[in-house]
């Protein structure tokens, strides 16, 4: 018999807040976390805004803040979200077998020492425009250290969390870009189902709001550049005038737990994670397959794994990036999988308020599904002023909506053609 898996803890650090409730109430109120970039001077960049996490005191979330002096923003966010999740699950003092407690995070690159990189290039640059690698290396070695190099590794958030809480079970990190935290949660689900763990700390963390990250997405023409004077209007999923996604950052982490294990220790059960689907487009590195074959396969697999029909799904949390291609193809994909039910099923994209948290996006969006089930209310798609005729589903424009919510599907589609979907439902004994 397949072991059932429930969510017993949730923690987050995102552009709308440092707690689950603050973030959720902000979403329902139509607030936006998108503002001018304050992490670095972006005044001369094509894109001058992003969805950033406000300053917080890491000392509130870790035993020894001195261990994190070289850590990147992704690690700091993960430590905050991880602490909140452990606390929420009642695990800070609980006696559990940590050999059976694993960790699986979606993540990306770590701390980026942009100043040292620029300095090293400047020192090593020849008059011809080429770089003298000897001078480049010498300049870098004078200003860099081994621990900073170590913190660039994308598995550092998982390693720091494992060390902080003594988690000695399965430990994984995945780097599948925008789908990473959804993939991490899905594979953590399978680890518990198959008996390799009883608990998993899982989700994602990421920050790409730095000069190279913003420049790279500008070159791909993937991120929005307007309106600079009203940045909160820049993320416009499914709108005819959408101009790309808004870069975000943050972390959301959940505690997944085998049902009987959770019940034995009297844990609060947020919801049950019941389905996971994953596929590859095998098409292009930046573009989704125009017929949605990869996303459709992942969505159908998740529904089949959960044992639910399209008619059973009360809400779809869309990947909904706000790019022309993604929103059109995701709409097509929902129609392919849901048939006539597509027009009866509410859909929204919380990226319109949170921005695109890249490797943390999927876990954050699954969190909103869990809260929608709890409160029987669906979060809106902001800035959907002029619907695209090709995007003709029920996208819950502008304001939250009361609804009967028992089952939700959450979509995440990553660069390179990675597609991952999760199904979560109200826990029923």
**Burial state string for 177-214 with b = 16 or more CB within 10 A and e = fewer than 16:** bbbbbbbbbbbbbbbbbeeebbbbbbbbbbbbbbbebb
Query: Residue 178 catalytic?
Result: yes
Question: Is residue 319 annotated as part of the catalytic site, yes or no?
Answer: yes
Q: Is 289 a catalytic residue?
A: no
- Alpha-carbon radius of gyration of the chain: 21
Q: Which of 160, 174, 178, 369 is labelled catalytic?
A: 178
Please pick, among 210, 261, 356, 391, the residue that the annotation labels catalytic: 356
Options 319, 369, 391, 421, the catalytic residue: 319
Residues annotated catalytic, as ranges = 178, 319, 356
């Amino acid at each position: 018999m397949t072991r059932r898996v429930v969510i017993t803890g949730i923690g987050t650090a995102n552009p709308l807040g440092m707690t689950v409730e603050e973030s959720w109430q902000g979403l329902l109120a139509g607030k936006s976390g998108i503002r001018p970039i304050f992490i670095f001077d972006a005044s001369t960049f094509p894109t001058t805004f992003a969805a950033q996490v406000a300053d917080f005191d890491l000392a509130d979330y870790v035993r020894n803040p001195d261990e994190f002096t070289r850590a990147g923003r992704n690690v700091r966010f993960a430590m905050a979200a991880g602490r909140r999740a452990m606390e929420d699950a009642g695990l800070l003092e609980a006696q559990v077998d940590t050999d059976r407690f694993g960790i699986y995070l979606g993540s990306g690159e770590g701390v980026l020492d942009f100043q040292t990189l620029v300095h090293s290039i400047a020192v090593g640059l020849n008059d011809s425009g080429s770089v003298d690698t000897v001078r480049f290396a010498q300049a870098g070695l004078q200003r860099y250290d081994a621990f900073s190099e170590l913190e660039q590794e994308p598995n550092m958030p998982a390693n720091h969390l494992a060390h902080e809480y003594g988690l000695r079970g399965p430990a994984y990190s995945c780097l599948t870009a925008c789908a990473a935290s959804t993939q991490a949660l899905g594979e953590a689900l399978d680890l518990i189902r198959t008996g390799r763990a009883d608990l998993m700390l899982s989700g994602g963390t990421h920050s790409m709001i730095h000069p190279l990250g913003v420049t790279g997405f500008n070159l791909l023409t993937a991120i929005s550049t307007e309106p600079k004077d009203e940045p909160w209007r820049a993320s416009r999923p499914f709108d005819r005038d959408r101009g790309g996604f808004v870069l975000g950052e943050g972390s959301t982490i959940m505690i997944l737990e085998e049902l009987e294990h959770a019940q034995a220790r009297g844990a609060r059960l947020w919801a049950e994670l019941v389905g996971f689907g994953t596929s590859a487009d095998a098409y292009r590195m930046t573009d989704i397959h125009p017929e949605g074959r990869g996303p459709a396969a992942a969505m159908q697999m998740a529904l089949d794994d959960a044992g639910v029909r399209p008619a059973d799904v009360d809400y779809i949390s869309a990947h909904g990036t706000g790019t022309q291609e993604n929103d059109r193809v995701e709409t097509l994909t929902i129609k392919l999988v849901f048939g006539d039910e597509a027009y009866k099923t509410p859909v929204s994209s919380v990226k319109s308020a949170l921005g695109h948290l890249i490797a943390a996006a999927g876990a954050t969006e699954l969190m909103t599904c869990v809260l929608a089930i709890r409160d029987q209310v669906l979060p809106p798609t902001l800035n959907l002023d002029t619907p695209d005729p090709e995007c003709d589903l029920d996208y819950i424009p502008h304001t939250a909506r009361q609804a009967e919510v028992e089952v939700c599907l959450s979509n995440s589609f990553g660069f390179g053609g990675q597609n991952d979907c999760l199904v979560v439902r109200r826990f029923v004994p």
